A and B are shown apart, each in its own frame.
Chain A
């Protein structure tokens, strides 16, 4: 083993170090702002190291390629960094309002993110599993961090049990594949399946199905999505924002990695399985969101539907398709956290601010907040010139090029359905009379987060090649 290789692990090492520092810091300082700020510094350092490593061209694998430091993993790490920074920024004031200012909150965010980073880099199923569990265990706790709240605790419980259930599927899948090929190494699996003539073996397909179930759970693919609405609604809103982006992106990262590396030759098979699941996911997400009056729950179903659109790029089985999915995820990060930020803005000590009615007449009282929500809702619907349009446009185009025209028609139809519930929020804000006067829980961090997300949603809408070229470069080299 070459110790030199370990420097490629530096971003993760620094990250975990900072997670521990945050935990210790909590014992020493009273002000939670200090912890959050230290956390931001940690993200900055880790991201900077990552950036330098890429700049110096030290891409490659560590320890016989069980850990891959490549463009693909770095792109996902960028999503995780952004996700974490935005979450910290919107959490500060919010956690105080929830009277849940625990230092371990930030520490857990860090551990969860480390897990995601490891998942994105995993070149071996065991490493992948470790990362996935690190992420999952941390998010279970995060979901239940408001201990005195019943719905928060309930969310954590459900998430934990069902998550454990899905982990079982994953382990079964790993075991089956190991049994067949004698390796857990992704590249090794690919060559093993090919050389041993196992491509048409039903047991191989069984293993593949188990992977789809386990990863489908993480990205809330129907019918493995049941946890999502309850958990998203019950968890603290900042955690919901975090969970609706990070673990989902990490799930997509491992799907891309495992399917495109280990099961590359079975692409027809996994596409065939994913097509009905994608349709079910878009349908369930869009249709069930219609009857929600709780905005968090509505956004939960919305995020289920978005997974259905994003998976179209994977279904194509082409590198360009993968690019379009990654492009989708980055844009989704900005617009979804943006939308959740506005939800948090409405949360006060004496008001949940989660009901649709709470948005009535918002444009009259708080025109800026309403305008931002309008932008995010437009983007989630996919109306140009917001980034959401670009995201959908590219996955749809890639699916069309790969011959999935009927699937795209279905997707467009469900996009139209989804316009009803997104634009309903807009209608409440702009066409209804305001109820009682509402103060916003504005803060500096929140202001920064909203500025970043808004600018990105608009900028990527009018200048999409900015991101797209970057994604292309990370995947295609």
Chain B
């Protein structure tokens, strides 16, 4: 039965890709939606099993067996996987339904559902795997789907460029990730999680030398794995691909680039917690990268005007929070935030999709305004999601974000600094979220007459998923109520404890109350600031912008990261390979590069080719010569 969870979406993919163009066309959702909903129902079943304490670890079969080298294909359904299954399949189901409305009439309708189904399959394999090789397979497969879906509208150059960018940037991270897995195999002789984790303690103190530099093996493994996470989860310095990935259709942004795939890095680090726990260096790196990314991405989000990019930077920032939690050892808090974030962030994206849909592909919030009147459901669900992400008490985001900040605060000296970063980022989060709301939904409409005439609330097929996600954005956090409010309120923490352990440090109740109050105050300040700047004194942003011109420019240009990469990496590489690429297109270098890389082989090839004269007698001669040489070598040279 369990195998059906990933298999159903895969079957849907096969059907759509094989018969989509000719037979299914715009009925593709009849294939894909039942498949993911089926996976969801089965996932709930699996979750119930785990809740009853039945953890499943099965090897389906051995992929390759050769001596001691055994690679099994198997699934591990434990508490962590169970939560991921619920997140992935529930959000996928809602987004699939939403897509029926959003993608209606698109030329590649069947293709869209095919790729999306393939993505769900890959993501499920990723979270269900019980070994690193299958994890790697899922990891690469979701990357491939992401690439295909970012470039879904490949006629637009910006879309296909964004797809390429995502693919190439992820190469950097995945290279490290692959090396990490190889190192795990060399060190432990196995790729199965449970074997590796149970033996992890025994390699403490073991050193590996790279280029003469002695490094602790466990630290090296963790840092290499974390490289992969940095790429996939868009952390500094590999975050540049995610905002561009918004070129893809909005449901894709919601599912892949907010709720599920980008959290794979968080999942992987949490999964490998027995390894990370052993390396203080690696943990600190994770925490610092996360904390810095959280505030850094949030600050960029303050001044952006593209509705989807604001939310994309918000995603990067929230992922930073999750890594911050993992890095201070609060794995449960990280996964808890992953889970609540999936709901409110998917909701934000789908809401923005609803707006974009209504305004015929308008994405600039400066040309929106007053949409509250025309799109009440979208507006109210959007507000709920924004309150949730800002951490307003009672909503999902409050509980998980608060847990992270509290755990960070307890994390010693570095923890205090990171906590300050996190709290400032929370302020920014509240601000940019409500800046978006005030600009897009309040005030007067600033777009064209034409757009205003067509503004409409989206059809039920789109609004119902919004409403369901809004329920999630409110209630998802109620499984993790801090103990100061309710004894045994932190059910998710208890649930995950067998896999992720429990945070060691426990602070006084007063500390927790202090951290919590502070973060709530900060959020409210953020919202109020947005209210003042964008509703009360609408000339203020302009004045501040010119007063703080350098800072504004820096943020608006995203700290010039893209430009920096362009100058240091992209341009040199392009220039070096210019000849190669030019040749690729006019066909000359195909001889040169593919035929003769290195050139030597090419000329070798041409030269030896002449032996093949086509003359029968010379063929016979070569046979005889060959025979004579062998006989001489074997018999007379003994």
Contact = CB atoms under 8 A, between A and B. Distances in A.
B141 to A, nearest CB: 10
Most buried by B among A158, A223, A273, A417: A223
A390 B597 CA distance: 26
B612 A397 contact: no
Contacts of B604: 287
B63 interface: yes
Nearest to B617: A161
B567 interface: no
A272 B67 CA distance: 25
A427 B618 CA distance: 36
Contacts of A390: 64
B63 A464 contact: yes
A161 B602 CA distance: 31
Given A290-B605, A291-B602, A205 B612 contact: no
**Looking at A157, A217, A224, which has the most chain B CB atoms within 10 Å of its CB?**
A224
Nearest to B635: A202
A369 to B, nearest CB: 14
B631 interface: yes
B606 A291 contact: yes
B485 interface: no
Contact of B66 (A158, A290, A394, A424): A394
B608 interface: yes
Interface stretch (B365-373, B403-411, B505-513, B588-596): B588-596
B634 interface: yes
B619 interface: yes
A288 B620 CA distance: 19
Contacts of B65: 465
B101 to A, nearest CB: 28
A169 interface: yes
B594 A420 contact: yes
A213 B627 contact: yes
Contact of B69 (A158, A165, A397): A397
A230 B616 CA distance: 10
B10 to A, nearest CB: 12
Give chain B's interface residue range (CB within 8 Å of chain A): 35 or more
Contact of A226 (B601, B623, B634): B623
B570 interface: no
B391 to A, nearest CB: 44
Contact of A397 (B67, B627, B634): B67
A206 B595 contact: no
A24 interface: no
Contacts of A432: 587
A169 B627 contact: yes
A165 B625 CA distance: 13
Given A417-B601, A420-B594, A427-B594, A162 B626 contact: no
Contacts of B518: none
A165 B620 contact: yes
A250 B619 CA distance: 23
A226 B61 contact: no
Given A288-B605, A420-B595, A273 B67 contact: no
Interface in B462-491: none
A224 B630 CA distance: 12
A48 interface: no
Nearest to B603: A291
A222 B626 CA distance: 9
A269 interface: yes
Contacts of B596: 290
Contacts of B67: 397, 401
A17 interface: no
A226 B595 contact: no
Contact of B62 (A165, A212, A465): A465
B204 interface: no
A213 B537 CA distance: 93
B614 interface: yes
Residue from A157, A217, A269, A464 having most chain B Cβ neighbours under 10 A = A464
Contact of B619 (A208, A227, A288, A393): A227
Contacts of B63: 462-464
28 contacts: A158-B616, A162-B620, A208-B634, A213-B623, A217-B623, A222-B626, A223-B622, A226-B619, A226-B622, A226-B623, A230-B614, A273-B630, A273-B633, A277-B630, A287-B601, A288-B605, A290-B595, A291-B609, A390-B64, A393-B64, A397-B67, A398-B66, A401-B66, A417-B601, A420-B597, A421-B594, A424-B594, A432-B587
Given A224-B626, A464-B63, 7 more contacts: A161-B620, A206-B631, A209-B634, A288-B609, A290-B594, A393-B66, A394-B64
8 residue pairs, one from A and one from B, having the closest CB atoms: A223-B626, A226-B619, A291-B605, A397-B66, A290-B605, A424-B594, A202-B635, A287-B605
